[in-house]
A and B are shown apart, each in its own frame.
Chain A
Amino acid sequence: MSAPLLRVAGLSKRFGGFTALDDVSVDVAQGERFGLIGPNGSGKTTLINCVSGALRNDGGTILFAGEEISRLPAFVRTRRGIARSFQIPRPFKSMTVLENLLVAIDFGRAGHGLSADATEDEAIGILGTMGLKDKARILSSQLSQVELRKMELARAMAAKPKLLISDEAMAGLSGSEIDEVLDLLIRLNEAGITIIMIEHIMHAVMRFSQRVMCLDAGRIIAQGVPQAVMDDRRVQEAYLGA
């Protein structure tokens, strides 16, 4: 078996006296659909903040495509191929949807080389696959919740990532909208992108993931195929507090 795309080993993160992550180790393989679950405050977002570079880990290592990245600034990690969406959408509000993607195309890739017109065509192409083509010219602050979620994914995709981290991209969406976003993520995965999904909506994460990891109070309490993790007694205790 080839080396994993992402290898997190012995990762720890403290905020003052509070230990948010404690000796977390996990491998995510190239092309995998990986689910990350856990109750509120269990450290899911902290973990992906450490991976994407928004936070610096205190201990442990993060290898991406075989290289240590845990001391690199976030923008360099994005250029190496780690893209993310945010739990609460963070659009560039003063820009149109198209311009939001152009930022990612201009800055998020390892090298430049496209002309201005080519990048615009490409951005519109990406918006097309996300079903946002007719919104390209409107301000991102005027989008609906589900459109914002899709734009965040589109913006992440515009950086041509190898790994896409989706942080609760479905929170606050209706049933049919959840299916829409889920289908989108599955299509991206089929196009070869490794995806880590953080989600509270259980049926979505179970349907999506090939492998699931559950965090509780900064530690891994279960890891494996979705059904096995769901059936794990400690996972049920963590969620139900039993």
Chain B
Amino acid sequence: MSMRRHGFWIGALCVLALAYGLTLAIRNEYAFFAGFIILQFIVLATAWNILGGYAGYVNFGTSAFFGIGVYTAIFLFKALGAPLLVQMAGAAVMGALLGFVTGLLTLRLHGIFFSIATVAMTIILETLVINWKYVGGATGIQVLRPPVTEPFDSYIKMLFVIGVALVIVAVALSRHVQGSWIGRGLRAIRDDETAAECTGVPTLRLKLLACSISGALMCAAGAPSAMYLQFADTTSAFNLNYSVSALAMSLIGGTSHWAGPVLGAIVLGVTQQALTVTISSELNVLVLGVMLILFVVGAPEGLLGLLRKGWARLARGGGS
């Protein structure tokens, strides 16, 4: 057990070192510009899966969390001149609070009704921000990046490494939740909430915990967006695309294991980025939709399920 835990952290450090190495080796900033988007989606999908995959509560409000993350960062930057890491920490706190409120919704709302409520929440929050002049309101807001911090030589490369670090934090949290008593309780809730409660599972507390962790990660993922684009407006910050993508990537990757959303986000994210460059950015959404349908029908356990089946077949073939 402890060996495996160390293994994970050693791997994480290697990934982080590799990411930094890449920023030294590769000159072209576009690679990092595109890579950052994929990292963002890995965090969003991983965060979505903590509530949606483990506990079975389908959250359609990823874009609400993302948008609140963006605007928390903008507010902190404009009002206090807060540095990026403080913006992200502040966004995580806001996300945890918003997640807690979302968790309270589960008291009365289950299944599709919960999902609809999260869509409503997105619209309400977006409307509030549209009418908030201080952070730019409906016209959006320009932000000027501060100079890049040592040891980085470009802001985008720094964002890329921070993105990798956030992915590591998200995956570590998701992995911990999955492997611990929390994950077992959440799965019991997903299978049968009443039976879970009668078996001693504190269902409300666990749902609030899952919502808060998930929300904190989503908002933290949104926070660097302002500095990344040097601009923010409500239409892109609260874009429904984040909700759909986080959900689709988790489902396509497989929701039962932390690696599923990571795999789904990488496969889908890379495909989307490649299509944006080679064909058109509109085709993205079509690809997402088609892949989602294919997987829901053909491989309900996602890529991970397919890999597991393939592995089992291989093992059987090798044994006989």
Contact = CB atoms under 8 A, between A and B. Distances in A.
Describe B's contact surface by its main secondary structure. helix
A106 interface: yes
Interface string B190-219: 111011111111111000000000000000
A159 B184 CA distance: 15
B187 A104 contact: no
A84 B198 contact: yes
Contact of B200 (A90, A95, A104): A104
A107 B200 contact: yes
Q: Give the size range of B's interface with the partner.
A: 20 to 34
Contact of A95 (B187, B202, B203): B187
A107 B195 contact: no
Given A92-B192, A99-B184, A107-B185, A155 B199 contact: yes
A43 interface: no
A172 interface: no
Interface string A96-130: 00010011101111000000000000000000000
A52 B199 CA distance: 10
Nearest to B1: A116
Interface residues of A, number: 28
B196 A92 contact: yes
A103 B194 contact: no
Given A99-B184, A102-B184, A107 B199 contact: yes
Interface of A: 52-54, 73-75, 78-79, 83-84, 86, 90-95, 99, 102-104, 106-109, 155-156, 159
Interface of B: 181, 184-185, 187-188, 190-192, 194-204, 256
13 contacts: A74-B197, A75-B197, A75-B199, A75-B201, A78-B198, A78-B199, A78-B200, A90-B192, A92-B187, A102-B184, A103-B185, A108-B199, A159-B200
